[in-house]
Structure 1
Amino acid sequence: TEHSTVTKYIREILTRRAHDVHVSGVNLLRLKELVHCKQMLEATVDLSDQQETLSTTDDDEMPLHNGHDVVEWLVRDLHPTPAVGGKPLKDGMTFIRAREPFDRGFFAAPCGVVSSGGGELAVSLRSALVERRHGSKVHVMAGAGLIDGSVPKDEWNEIRLKMRQFVGTLSDGVRPALKEPMEFPNFNTFWCAVFVDELVRLGIKHFVVCPGSRSTPLTIAVTQHPQATHVVHTDERGAAFYALGYAKATGLPAPVIVTSGSAVANLLPAVTEAHESRVPMLLLTADRPSELRDTGSNQTMNQTDIFKPYALWTRDVAPPCESAPIRSLLSDVDYAVGECLQQSGVVHLNMQFRENLAPEGGAVRGGQYGEVSAFRVPEDSRFTRWQLRSAEPLTRVARPARRVIEDDSVRELISSGTVVLVVGALSSPMDAAAVDAMAEELQCLVLADAVSGCRRECLPSLCLSSQAVLDMLQLSRPTVIRLGGALISKQVQAWMSSKMGPVKEHIRVMDVPRRHDVDWNGTIVVDATCAEFARMVDDLTLEPAVLRTNRSLRDRIYAISSRAEKRVQAELGEECTEPNITRSLANFASNRREGMVISSSMSCRNFDNFCPLGVHLPRVSCSRGVSGIDGTISTAVGYAVGLGRATNLLIGDVAAIHDLNSLVQLANYLNGGGFVGDVKIPPVKIVVCNNNGGSMFKFVPIGKYSDEVAYNENFRTPNAQVAFAGAAKMLGLGGSKKVDDLAGMVESLHHSGLTEIMPKTSQDEDVALRRRITAAVGEVVEESLRLHPGVKLSFIRGGSPGKAPLVLLHGWMGSAKSYSDWLACEELTAKYDIVSISLPGH
Structure 2
Amino acid sequence: MIYPKIPLAQTVIQLCKAKGVKHIVISPGSRNAPLTIGFSNDDYFKCYSIVDERCAAFFALGIAQQLQEPTAVVCTSGSALLNYYPAVAEAFYSDIPLIILSADRPKHLIGIGDGQTINQKNVFENHVLYASNLKLDLKEEGADSVEELPIFKSMENKVETLLGLKKTIQEYNEEEIDTTINRALLENGPVHINVPFDEPLYDMVNELSIKPKPTNPVDKPLEIDDNVLGDCIKDWNAASKKMILVGVNQPNQIEKRWLDNLAADDSVIVFTETTSNLHHDTFFPSIDKLIAPLKSEDFRKLQPDILLTFGGLIVSKKVKAFLRKYRPQQHWHIDLKKANDTFFSLNNFVKTTPNYFFSKFLPQTQSLKSDYNSYWKHLEASRLAKHDDYLNSIDFSDLKAFDVILSNIPNDTILQLGNSSTVRYAQLFDLNKTLKVFCNRGTSGIDGCTSTAIGCAVVNKKQTTLITGDLSFIYDSNAMWNNYIPSNFRVIVINNQGGGIFRILPGHKNTENFDTYFETNHHLTAEHLCNMYGFKYESVLDEASLKSSLNSFYSEGDQPKLLEIFTPKNLNDEVLLNYFKFIG
Q: Using a 3 Å threshold, how does the CA distance of structure 1 residues 396 and 433 change in structure 2: closer, same or farther? A: farther
Cα offset for 1:351?
A: 0.3
Equivalent in 728, 739, 742 of residue 546 of structure 2: 742
Pair 1:597-2:400 in alignment: no
Cα offset for 1:739?
A: 2.4
Instruction: Give the match's secondary structure for 2:427.
Output: helix
Equivalent residue runs for 1:348-747 within 5 Å: 348-360=192-204, 383=211, 386=213, 394-406=214-226, 407=228, 408-417=230-239, 418-431=241-254, 433=256, 436-437=259-260, 439-440=262-263, 442=265, 444-456=268-280, 457-458=283-284, 459-468=286-295, 471=298, 474=301, 477-498=304-325, 500-501=326-327, 503-512=328-337, 514-542=338-366, 544=367, 546=368, 548-549=369-370, 552-573=371-392, 576-589=396-409, 591-609=410-428, 611-612=429-430, 615-665=432-482, 668-670=483-485, 681=486, 683-702=488-507, 704-707=508-511, 710-720=513-523, 722-733=524-535, 735-740=536-541, 741-746=545-550, 747=552
Instruction: Give the match's secondary structure for 2:274.
Output: coil
Cα offset for 1:434?
A: 7.7
Specify the alignment match of 2:164 in structure 1: none
Cα offset for 1:355?
A: 1.9
Specify the alignment match of 2:580 in structure 1: 774
Instruction: Give the match's secondary structure for 1:284.
Output: strand
Whether the 8 Å CA contact 2:397–2:571 is kept in 1: the answer is no
Equivalent in 228, 240, 258 of residue 75 of structure 2: 258
Whether the 8 Å CA contact 1:244–1:638 is kept in 2: the answer is yes
Determine which structure has greater relative contact order: mean sequence separation of CA pairs < 8 Å that are 6+ residues apart, divided by chain length.
2
Q: Using a 3 Å threshold, how does the CA distance of structure 1 residues 711 and 510 change in structure 2: closer, same or farther? A: same
Cα offset for 1:652?
A: 0.5
- Write the deviation string for residues 601-621 of structure 1: whole angstroms up to 9, x where unpaired: 110110112x236x2155211
Whether the 8 Å CA contact 1:595–1:617 is kept in 2: the answer is no
Specify the alignment match of 1:291 in structure 2: 108
Whether the 8 Å CA contact 1:304–1:316 is kept in 2: the answer is yes
Cα offset for 1:773?
A: 1.9
Q: Using a 3 Å threshold, how does the CA distance of structure 1 residues 485 and 400 change in structure 2: closer, same or farther? A: same
Cα offset for 1:525?
A: 1.2
Q: Using a 3 Å threshold, how does the CA distance of structure 1 residues 405 and 421 change in structure 2: closer, same or farther? A: farther
Q: State how far apart, in whole Å, the 1-side matches of 2:31 and 2:81 are.
A: 12
Q: State how far apart, in whole Å, the 1-side matches of 2:402 and 2:177 are.
A: 43
Whether the 8 Å CA contact 1:484–1:510 is kept in 2: the answer is yes
Q: State how far apart, in whole Å, the 2-side matches of 1:334 and 1:437 are.
A: 42
Letter in 2 for 1:421: I
Instruction: Give the match's secondary structure for 1:451.
Output: helix
Q: Using structure 1 for the length normalisation, give the TM-score.
A: 0.61
Cα offset for 1:208?
A: 0.7
Letter in 2 for 1:484: G
Q: Using a 3 Å threshold, how does the CA distance of structure 1 residues 477 and 594 change in structure 2: closer, same or farther? A: closer
Q: Aligned residues: percent identity?
A: 23
Q: State how far apart, in whole Å, the 2-side matches of 1:232 and 1:588 are.
A: 34
Cα offset for 1:279?
A: 2.0
Letter in 2 for 1:351: V
Equivalent residue runs for 1:2-81 within 5 Å: none
Letter in 2 for 1:711: F
Cα offset for 1:376?
A: 6.5
Cα offset for 1:559?
A: 3.1
Whether the 8 Å CA contact 2:132–2:177 is kept in 1: the answer is no
Whether the 8 Å CA contact 1:663–1:731 is kept in 2: the answer is yes
Cα offset for 1:526?
A: 1.1
Instruction: Give the match's secondary structure for 2:48.
Output: strand
Q: Using a 3 Å threshold, how does the CA distance of structure 1 residues 331 and 440 change in structure 2: closer, same or farther? A: farther
Q: State how far apart, in whole Å, the 1-side matches of 2:407 and 2:419 are.
A: 20
Whether the 8 Å CA contact 2:415–2:435 is kept in 1: the answer is no
Q: Quick check: which has more Rg, 1 or 2?
A: 1
Q: State how far apart, in whole Å, the 1-side matches of 2:335 and 2:501 are.
A: 31
Q: State how far apart, in whole Å, the 2-side matches of 1:644 and 1:473 are.
A: 47
Q: Using a 3 Å threshold, how does the CA distance of structure 1 residues 246 and 193 change in structure 2: closer, same or farther? A: same
Q: Using a 3 Å threshold, how does the CA distance of structure 1 residues 718 and 334 change in structure 2: closer, same or farther? A: same
Cα offset for 1:756?
A: 0.6
The CA RMSD over aligned residues, in Å, is 2.6
Cα offset for 1:655?
A: 0.7
Q: Using structure 2 for the length normalisation, give the TM-score.
A: 0.86
In structure 2, runs of 5+ residues without a counterpart are 141-167
Q: State how far apart, in whole Å, the 1-side matches of 2:413 and 2:352 are.
A: 30
Specify the alignment match of 2:565 in structure 1: 757
Q: State how far apart, in whole Å, the 2-side matches of 1:260 and 1:564 are.
A: 55
Q: Using a 3 Å threshold, how does the CA distance of structure 1 residues 346 and 654 change in structure 2: closer, same or farther? A: same
Q: State how far apart, in whole Å, the 2-side matches of 1:462 and 1:658 are.
A: 30
Cα offset for 1:592?
A: 2.1
- Write the deviation string for residues 676-735 of structure 1: whole angstroms up to 9, x where unpaired: xxxxx4722110000111111112222x3544x711111111222x121232112322x1
Q: Using a 3 Å threshold, how does the CA distance of structure 1 residues 559 and 455 change in structure 2: closer, same or farther? A: farther
- Write the deviation string for residues 395-443 of structure 1: whole angstroms up to 9, x where unpaired: 1112135323521222222222121110110145314758635533645
Whether the 8 Å CA contact 2:17–2:44 is kept in 1: the answer is yes
In structure 1, runs of 5+ residues without a counterpart are 1-178, 362-372, 378-382, 387-393, 671-680, 779-842
Pair 1:340-2:145 in alignment: no
Whether the 8 Å CA contact 1:293–1:302 is kept in 2: the answer is yes
The count of residues paired between Structure 1 and Structure 2 equals: 542
Letter in 1 for 2:582: A
Instruction: Give the match's secondary structure for 1:304.
Output: coil
Whether the 8 Å CA contact 2:258–2:362 is kept in 1: the answer is no
